[in-house]
Amino acid sequence: MTSFSEYRVPTANGNVYVRDYPGNGPAFVMLHGFPDNGHIYDDLIPHLVAGGRRAITIDFLGFGASDKPEGAQYSFAQQRDDVEAVLDALQLDKVVLVGHDAGGPAALNMALVHPERVASVVLMNVFYGEAPGLLVPELIELFSHKPLQSLARHFLTSPQQFAWLIEFQRQLLLGDAALTGQTRYQELLGPLIDANFRQQPSAAIAFAQMTSQLKDEVAANTGRTVALRRSEVPVVLIWGRNDPYLHLSTAAFLQAQLRNVSLHALDAGHWPQIDAAEESARIMLNA
């Protein structure tokens, strides 16, 4: 086990849970997507720490071990504020932001708003703005499609029906994954995602609110394309080429919008930090 310190960082809406693994150099501050939490980096962190680097994971408000206050309003802007609150609380001047999936917008937009605090950005199978071939999982498509919001909310009221949806999506996400990838999914990701929704209070409210804003966030980020192209912050794209949704073409399009960027395509699925943890860490440590 890799040792770490735990913090509960206060924000305007509640406390955010943070794990801090000691090391040197600009800390890797790792951001998850939905519907998971900071544990998606559990396989990656030992390699980063072995390389002498500090690593920090954040459970965004509403997810994992962070507060889930009644009546809270969750948003992509709020998630960026969560990141800033953690940087302030831990007195981190310069960090490497690592975003996966829906954690990508918080990482990139933090770099646009506060470039002086971001040494670089690492993105793993993220979405950001409009991109040719951008495809989201069916579960996310359902919850992000505004005319179907009442249907989506109905699924949340029935644990059995929602569990069926999760299992349906799980099988599609695994796709043609190798046996080792499927095994690790069953060992780590499956229980992690299930716990997010089964524990009380549940992450379901945050998940529903965040997904309902996905298309608006993609449109807003498309409007930031000029600022993105002007940014000097280095960006490293680590992409699982076997992702059945966020295809490598999404990474290539994002690469074309960035000035200081490198792209590394790995033999991995949607979670390269799990499927190819050692290789992902090597790229991050050498960036």
For position 87, which CATH number holds?
3.40.50.1820
- Does residue 267 fall inside a structural domain? yes
> Containing domain of residue 237, as a range?
5-135+216-286
Query: Tokens at residue 174, please?
Result: 């695994």
d(CA 167, CA 188): 15
* Distance from chain centroid for Cα 220: 18
The reported pLDDT for the residue numbered 1 is 64
- Does residue 144 fall inside a structural domain? no
* Distance from chain centroid for Cα 177: 20
d(CA 245, CA 220): 21
- Does residue 260 fall inside a structural domain? yes
Q: Which residue has the tokens 């680097």?
A: 53
Q: Is 167 left (phi over 0), alpha (psi -120 to 50) or beta?
A: alpha
The reported pLDDT for the residue numbered 239 is 97
Output the CA–CA distances (angstroms, integers) from residue 220 to 131, 198, 213, 263, in the order listed.
Answer: 13, 32, 10, 24
Give me the count of residues in the chain. 287
Rg of the Cα atoms in the chain:
17
Q: Residue 57: which residues within 8 A CB-CB, separation 6 or more?
A: 18, 19, 30, 32, 38, 39, 41, 45
- Does residue 247 fall inside a structural domain? yes
Q: Quote the number of domains for the chain.
A: 1
The reported pLDDT for the residue numbered 173 is 77
The reported pLDDT for the residue numbered 141 is 93
In the 8-state DSSP scheme, what is residue 229? Answer: H
- Does residue 17 fall inside a structural domain? yes
The reported pLDDT for the residue numbered 58 is 98
- Does residue 156 fall inside a structural domain? no
Backbone angles phi, psi at 271, to 5 degrees: -115, 75
Does residue 26 have a cis peptide bond before it, meaning omega lies within 30 degrees of 0? Answer: no
Check: CB of residue 270 under 8 Å from CB of residue 127.
no
The reported pLDDT for the residue numbered 280 is 98
- Does residue 226 fall inside a structural domain? yes
Helices (H), the chain: 45-50, 76-89, 104-113, 138-144, 149-157, 159-174, 179-184, 190-198, 204-212, 214-222, 225-230, 248-256, 272-275, 277-286
Backbone angles phi, psi at 270, to 5 degrees: -70, -25
- Residue by residue, DSSP assigns 256-286 as HT-SSEEEEEES--S-HHHHTHHHHHHHHHH
Q: Residue 6: which residues within 8 A CB-CB, separation 6 or more?
A: 17, 18, 19, 20
The reported pLDDT for the residue numbered 176 is 62
Residues of the chain with pLDDT under 70: 1, 175-181
- Does residue 269 fall inside a structural domain? yes
Euclidean distance between the first and the last CA atom of the chain, given in angstroms as a whole number: 26
The reported pLDDT for the residue numbered 177 is 62
Q: Give the strand pairing for 235-240 and 118-126.
A: parallel
Sign of CA dihedral 263, 94, 43, 58: negative
